[in-house]
Amino acid sequence: MAGRAPNAVCSGLRNSLTSPSEAGEFIPGDGGACYRSKALRYYLEYRLFRLVLWLFRGRPIGTARRWGHRLGRLAYWLLPRRRRLVLDNLARVFPDKTAAECRDLARQIFATAGSAFVEPLVMSGMDPERAKAHVRYEGKEHLDDLLAAGRGFIFLTAHFGIWEIPMVPLQDQLAPMHVLAKNPSNPYMEKEIEAIRNARKQTTILASGGTLKIFRALRRGDRVGILIDQRVQPTDGILLPFLGEAAWTTPMLASISARTGAPVLPFLCEPTGDDGFRVVFSPPIVPQGEGRDAEYDLTRRYLDFMEKGILERPDLWFWLHDRWKRVKRHSWPQALERLWKLSGIDSSTCQPIAAPRRALAELAANPESLERGDSYLILGGAEDERDAFCRNVAAELIPRGYSFRLISVDPSGRFGEKSTEDDPRALRELDSFDLVAVSLPDVTGAGELEAVSDLLDHRLRSSRSTLLAAPTSWEVPDAGDNSSDTSLRTGVLHTIRV
């Protein structure tokens, strides 16, 4: 077999290797155009895959985990380019870590990558009932509710821990299940990976041209699994902050969810003990709003979910990927310019929140409050001061990638040019913003009060955050007393007196 490798590789890759800059040295021969370095790498990857599959399929998970860690640590020394990439990524995201701490963490990351390669191969041949003994689920009621509803939905996860494991014990319950994957670069691996997924009652949808297939699958009530934590081409992505740095991210998941109404169920899987797994399902992310702004909002919420898990356990994420590649210096300012334009605020009129007003900075310092849909009522101050409060909150949030909108309400109860009574879409169009701010005048009429009450009620019910800056005399509709953290319908209203 080894003696036939060069010709077999050349002929098998004739059409897939087209870039001398990517592949290496050009070799003319009987098999057609072939680039030696990439062809040899593909063949060696395939042989390694077959060897690991032969060695570990049917073995105990604990044995596979130990050997996976050893393979990963060996790769740390054998792959200097990947090692440097991991160290560069860690220094970018964790500037406070010392070089020694980054090296220790990098060794753990390579060990995790090794086990993520070996353990799914062990589980691929395991009976679902036997696999259940190794997996502990938390938040599974979120999955059960979606399955009981009988509608199609989307799984969201990251290249985190052993991300393919959770579906093995549930394969009968989840079928039919589809997995979105990149077009395979290695032609030898394609059939092997597809065979493993088919054994798990999964089918592969290739990312190239796969959007229509996903739409059809969701309309049939099927399940689809998608990972969006890796970079995409700038022409295919939107620029959003990820782990503190601007990164190109695909909006495809958000677009599909918004257009089909399919909820997105996030989960993460981490190894526990010698041979266990802990799978945590988070509450579903339900699409709200329409258009490009809704895609930005949903995609940012997906990234926030992944960020939280990665920052808690950085050793479990796949840092061997150049996530921040292709981000030009001018790209992020352009994205920020777009957010400022949507906000309706002139950025030159904003200043960061001053120390005496630090209570307002809770909005920027605690993104989880925006995820919960909490709202804030700022009572007191002169009319121009309240308007400045709203603008200063924007100065904190927009540079971090959050969408913000400052609106005005006229005495007739109209938001800008639209009335909530004449056009119910006036409220729904605001759903794509993380935070909507309203600065009320000192003298407030009945129409303004009713419109603001409708806005606050709608945003709380939709788990979307609102900032109201009002005079001291303003009363919260149906809020009961004026104590802090007053429960209002389905959300929480925080009252801050200045």
pLDDT tens for residues 113-155?
999 988 888 877 778 888 888 999 999 999 999 999 989 999 9
Domain boundaries, the chain: 1-43, 128-327, 334-497
Non-local CB neighbours of 227 within 8 Å, separated by 6+ positions: 156, 157, 158, 159, 163, 180
Residues 437-484: tens digit of each pLDDT = 887 777 666 667 777 777 777 777 766 788 888 777 665 554 433 333
Q: Are 226 and 204 in contact (CB under 8 A)?
A: no
Q: What is the mean pLDDT of residues 246-275?
A: 91
Q: Which of 410, 419, 421 is nearest to 444 (CA)?
A: 410
Question: 2-30: string of b/e by CB count within 10 Å (b at 16+)?
Answer: eeeebeebbebbeebbeeeeebbeebeee
Does the pLDDT value for residue 420 go beyond 70? no
Q: What is the mean pLDDT of residues 203-231?
A: 88
Question: 97-108: string of b/e by CB count within 10 Å (b at 16+)?
Answer: eeeeebeebbbb
Looking at residue 71, what is its pLDDT?
A: 92
Torsion of CA 245, 246, 248, 253, to 10 degrees: 80
The secondary element (H helix, E strand) that includes residue 72 is: helix 61-78
Q: Which residue has the tokens 């009572």?
A: 379
Q: Are 34 and 17 in contact (CB under 8 A)?
A: yes
Residue 33 — pLDDT band, cuts 50, 70, 90?
Answer: very low
Q: Lay out the sheet containing 491-497: strands in order across.
A: 404-407, 435-439, 465-470, 375-379, 491-497, 486-488
Q: Which residue has the higher pLDDT, 180 or 357?
A: 180
Residue 336 — pLDDT band, cuts 50, 70, 90?
Answer: low
Strands 375-379 and 404-407 turn out to be: unpaired
Non-local CB neighbours of 339 within 8 Å, separated by 6+ positions: 398, 401, 402, 403, 404
Instruction: Say if domain 334-497 classifies as CATH 3.40.50.
Output: yes
Identity of residue 250: T
Q: Which residue has the higher pLDDT, 428 or 65?
A: 65
Does the pLDDT value for residue 97 go beyond 70? yes
* pTM of the entire predicted model: 0.65
Residues 185-207: tens digit of each pLDDT = 777 777 777 777 877 778 888 87
